[in-house]
Structure 1
Amino acid sequence: MSLWVFGYGSLMWRPGFRFQRAEHARLVGFSRSFCVFSMHHRGCETRPGLVLGLDRGGACEGMAFHIAEEDVPATLAYLREREQVSGVYREVRLPITLLNTQRQHVHALTYVVERAHPSYASRLPLQIQARLIRGACGTSGDNITYVLNTMSHLSDLGIRERQLERLLALIGPLVASRQTINGAQCPHVTSLSRAVRNQFRVRQPLRLSERRRFIYRQKIRQD
């Protein structure tokens, strides 16, 4: 059986799997927000970043990719390795609308945020979001590039995200200001990171034994 995959963040511009077609699509009931602390792809344990998650409420436009039946096993394996580093996302199938002339309704696999997970950041103030994003970098690159790529591709799709635009406006002056003193991290950056970790209880990546309670959510039900 073939598969649709809905991407709302980096999957829109860097899917990483083979697909037959890509369509502009809308998901109702979830919205895109910087609600996940990243300590792998766009941050680290001592300097967490923020990445997008699908959180409950509202609607979200993104890209839907159609995967041929023979490519489904490899695609699922790739996505689970990419998206399930810490178990902060739940793999689900949700109804989406393809925004083409036919307005086709399909079910697509996507990843929604697990609010019970310690990496769930909830709705942080925009100033805190901007400062976290400004100084974070992980295995997939710096956090700012992630934001800029997201905004660029949303713009290409004709999608306006007012909240993300306000966030980008706050990040601009922070990027222009100096981040280091003589090659060392500024004291206020270190203090901010410590304060955020304490206030919002950002934890180190879960040990395998701790992650087991989230594992059952990682795979879609086979009905």
Structure 2
Amino acid sequence: MLSDAERKASLHASLSEVGWTPCQDVWVYGYGSLIWRPEFDFSEQRQALLRGYHRALCLWSRINRGTPEEPGLVFGLDVGGSCRGMAFRIPGSMVPDAFDALWQREMPSGAYIPRWLRCHTSEGDIRALVFTMNRKTDAYVPRMPDEQLMQVVHRARGINGPCIEYVLETASALQRSKMLDKRLQNVVNLLQSYTGQIAPNQA
């Protein structure tokens, strides 16, 4: 876990990297729960394509969507491919509060690496803050067999609710916005098949 000082240092380093000033708006890129539960005020949102990373269930969740004894999985941006998500424009006056909340939410353990990356939108390219996966953390999960993935997602539950709820909420948010993610849709299809198979045994 990062200390408060380490988390604040990371936040300030990210803003310093782009030479942020209090009057400057910034963009934040969401690819998971930020799409459907941003928890910060924004003045604009756009669908955005990020190249070089893809959405994957590659991060153990031992609190929010699981426990230390039975961890769940949450999305991270792993290297390779591309990802369609949502970019949010935060007014300059709101950046300090929004970023403080973001760092508490996304950076409690240092599992992500915040980067400023180019994202493509229908209204032109933007540079947005993106939380990418830190492969060096022990919370990083390389690709696992489908059967194991289904078991983890179906069974795990944390303080924010079931892991499966998180996965399906993200899939629904993408579907509502007409953003295609073949990998995630495959996971959803597998979950439907898996839960259908185990339902009789739970009766």
Aligned residues with identical type, % of pairs: 35
* Distance 1:172-1:80 versus aligned 2 partners, 3 A rule: same
Q: How does 1:196-207 map to 2 (within 5 A)?
A: none
Once the two structures are TM-superposed, the CA of residue 178 in structure 1 deviates from its matched residue by: 5.0
**In structure 2, what residue type is equivalent to 1:25?**
A
User: Does the 8 Å contact 1:35/1:124 carry over to 2?
Assistant: no
Cα RMSD for the two superposed structures: 1.7
Alignment pair present for 1:115 and 2:135: yes
Structure 2 residue corresponding to 1:152, chosen from 169, 172, 177: 172
Q: Distance in 1 between matches of 2:28 and 2:96?
A: 13
**In structure 1, what residue type is equivalent to 2:85?**
G
DSSP-derived class of the 2:171 partner: helix
**In structure 1, what residue type is equivalent to 2:178?**
G
Alignment pair present for 1:95 and 2:118: yes
Per the alignment, residue 91 of structure 2 pairs with 68
Per the alignment, residue 4 of structure 1 pairs with 27
Question: Which shifted more, 104-113 or 160-169?
Answer: 160-169
User: Does the 8 Å contact 2:119/2:127 carry over to 1?
Assistant: yes
User: Does the 8 Å contact 2:84/2:180 carry over to 1?
Assistant: no
Aligned residues: 179
**In structure 1, what residue type is equivalent to 2:150?**
A
Alignment pair present for 1:53 and 2:76: yes
User: Does the 8 Å contact 2:84/2:181 carry over to 1?
Assistant: no
Per the alignment, residue 214 of structure 1 pairs with none
Alignment pair present for 1:80 and 2:100: no
Q: Distance in 1 between matches of 2:61 and 2:201?
A: 22
**In structure 2, what residue type is equivalent to 1:74?**
D
Q: What TM-score, normalized by structure 2, do the two folds share? A: 0.83
Per the alignment, residue 130 of structure 1 pairs with 150
1:32-62 CA distances to partner (integer Å, 9 max, x unpaired)?
0111111111111001111100011111010
User: Does the 8 Å contact 2:40/2:98 carry over to 1?
Assistant: yes
Alignment pair present for 1:41 and 2:64: yes
Q: Distance in 2 between matches of 1:113 and 1:78?
A: 19
Q: Which runs of 5+ in 2 are unaligned?
A: 1-23
Once the two structures are TM-superposed, the CA of residue 91 in structure 1 deviates from its matched residue by: 1.1
Q: Distance in 2 between matches of 1:152 and 1:133?
A: 16
**In structure 2, what residue type is equivalent to 1:146?**
Y
Per the alignment, residue 163 of structure 1 pairs with 183
Q: Distance in 1 between matches of 2:174 and 2:146?
A: 19
Once the two structures are TM-superposed, the CA of residue 181 in structure 1 deviates from its matched residue by: 7.4
Once the two structures are TM-superposed, the CA of residue 160 in structure 1 deviates from its matched residue by: 2.2
DSSP-derived class of the 1:57 partner: strand
DSSP-derived class of the 2:117 partner: strand
1:53-75 CA distances to partner (integer Å, 9 max, x unpaired)?
00111110100000000000011
* Distance 1:56-1:166 versus aligned 2 partners, 3 A rule: same
Q: Which runs of 5+ in 1 are unaligned?
A: 183-223
* Distance 1:180-1:84 versus aligned 2 partners, 3 A rule: farther
Q: What TM-score, normalized by structure 1, do the two folds share? A: 0.76
DSSP-derived class of the 2:108 partner: coil
User: Does the 8 Å contact 1:131/1:171 carry over to 2?
Assistant: no
